Amino acid sequence: MRILTVVGARPQFIKACMLSKAIKSNSEIEEVIVHTGQHYDDNMSTVFFEQLNLPKADYYLGVGSGSHGKQTANMLVELEHIMISINPDVVLVYGDTNSTLAGSLAASKLHIPVAHVESGLRSFNKKMPEEINRLVTDHLSDWLFCPSQAAIENLRREGIVNGVHLTGDIMYDAVLYFKPYALKQSTIIENLSLVREKYYLATVHRAENTDQPERLKSILEALQQLKKDVVFPLHPRTKRKINEFKFMDLISSPHIKIVEPLNYFDMLTIASQANLVLTDSGGLQKEAYMLQVPCITLRDETEWVETVQSGWNQLAGADTDKIVDQVKTIQTPKASPLLFGDGKTAQKINDILLKSR
């Protein structure tokens, strides 16, 4: 069986790494990896391949940044060529990025079955590019690997019931596997002179927050008002927008520690030792839960509804007062049920794909 895996953005390297390990241990499957080049800076891409020991991509498309249409179209053209020449039995895509959409669209037009990992998530907000990407991908997929029961329900409401599997969340596999290495190897806490459990971790990268000056300002004003150290790794677009909107003053307080985007080990270490995470990232909301750290989500809705229902995550949107109030009042819940499976998601997906040959 030949699988063609399409990745392109940071979280996809982490997810693909776990499934690639499972696939590698199985001589019946050959995996060909395509990196679209959606993320291309060393600290957004290369560092993940090196740290996670992810096999070097067989094809690197180098599409880079651009408008959604241009970026996706460039990926489609290249992926179609590769799919025709490789003739895979399955195209494997992850999550909800433009690389996911391009992979599933190119494959389904060539009648190649599509497997979607992290299927069934919905924010019900079609202004998010990610929502369009996952809606289309799910409707084109033959295998839909869902991280949660809520994801299965979302698909059922859209009439998708065939090929749907509850596998758990592959990011949980990665957290369990890599956390011990991360805590041993990372020196980020010392490098930034942080005191364990006495700082907050904040990340902002979603277009809905970075590209609307009033939302970005409001979030930065909240960070400014917080009374503990705030580690704030800056996504390249967020950095660009802060400069463009002249918001540098808002992040110049000594308690706000601006750092470059973090590698996976530093991120796991910083997140696991934080008092609280503030983020608009889907992945980090889940990682906070998996690492037993409360989270405030800087969005108006979330796909990860179970983290909210369990009391570990609260939605604050981009409202300064709400964010500051929630930071003051959020509690660490006593119970933390296994919301995202048992950490054996990669093996389950591998077995399902093999069985279906």
Catalytic residues: 205
Residue 326 interacting with ligand UD1 (CB under 6 A): no
CA angle 35, 37, 39 (to 5 degrees): 115
Q: Which of 236, 310, 322, 356 binds ligand UD1 (CB under 6 A)?
A: 236
Q: Closer CB to ligand UD1, residue 127 or residue 355? A: 127
Three-state DSSP class for 252? coil
- Which neighbouring-strand residues pair with 352? none
Pseudo-torsion of CA 87, 49, 272, 243, nearest 10°?
-100
Q: How many residues bind ligand UD1 (CB under 6 A)?
A: 18
Residue 204 interacting with ligand UD1 (CB under 6 A): no
Q: Please report, as residue ranges, which positions from 265 to 284 form the binding site for ligand UD1 (by CB under 6 A).
A: none
Q: Closer CB to ligand UD1, residue 40 or residue 181? A: 40
Residue 11 interacting with ligand UD1 (CB under 6 A): yes
- State in angstroms the smallest separation of the CB of 203 from ligand UD1: 9
Q: Closer CB to ligand UD1, residue 11 or residue 120? A: 11
How far, in Å, CA of 264 to CA of 172, rounded? 14
- Select from 48-56, 232-240, 262-270, 332-340 the region that touches ligand UD1 (CB under 6 A): 232-240
Instruction: Please choose, from the candidates 353, 357, 356, the residue with its C-alpha nearest in 3D space to the C-alpha of residue 22.
Output: 353
How far, in Å, CA of 18 to CA of 349, rounded? 11
Q: Closer CB to ligand UD1, residue 40 or residue 60? A: 40
- Asked whether the CA dihedral 323, 324, 325, 331 is positive or negative, the reply is positive
Residue 245 interacting with ligand UD1 (CB under 6 A): no
Q: Closer CB to ligand UD1, residue 236 or residue 317? A: 236
- State in angstroms the smallest separation of the CB of 39 from ligand UD1: 4
- Which neighbouring-strand residues pair with 143? 115
- Select from 136-144, 171-179, 236-244, 264-272 the region that touches ligand UD1 (CB under 6 A): 236-244
How far, in Å, CA of 48 to CA of 65, rounded? 19
Q: Closer CB to ligand UD1, residue 65 or residue 87? A: 65
Instruction: Please choose, from the candidates 95, 131, 132, the residue with its C-alpha nearest in 3D space to the C-alpha of residue 116.
Output: 95
Overall residue count recorded for the chain in this entry:
357
Q: Which of 2, 24, 25, 41 binds ligand UD1 (CB under 6 A)?
A: 41
Residue 276 corresponds to which amino acid?
Answer: L
Q: Please report, as residue ranges, which positions from 111 to 130 form the binding site for ligand UD1 (by CB under 6 A).
A: 129-130
- Select from 177-185, 222-230, 234-242, 294-302 the region that touches ligand UD1 (CB under 6 A): 234-242
List helix spans (H) across 25-169.
46-52, 68-86, 98-109, 129-140, 149-157
DSSP structural state of residue 144: E
Instruction: Please choose, from the candidates 287, 288, 293, 296, the residue with its C-alpha nearest in 3D space to the C-alpha of residue 327.
Output: 296
Residue 44 interacting with ligand UD1 (CB under 6 A): yes
Instruction: Please choose, from the candidates 158, 180, 96, the residue with its C-alpha nearest in 3D space to the C-alpha of residue 133.
Output: 96
Q: Which of 1, 40, 165, 344 binds ligand UD1 (CB under 6 A)?
A: 40
Three-state DSSP class for 158? coil
Q: Which of 31, 96, 266, 303 binds ligand UD1 (CB under 6 A)?
A: 96
Residue 212 interacting with ligand UD1 (CB under 6 A): no
Chain residues binding ligand UD1 by CB under 6 A are 9-11, 38-41, 44, 65, 96-98, 129-130, 205, 236-237, 240
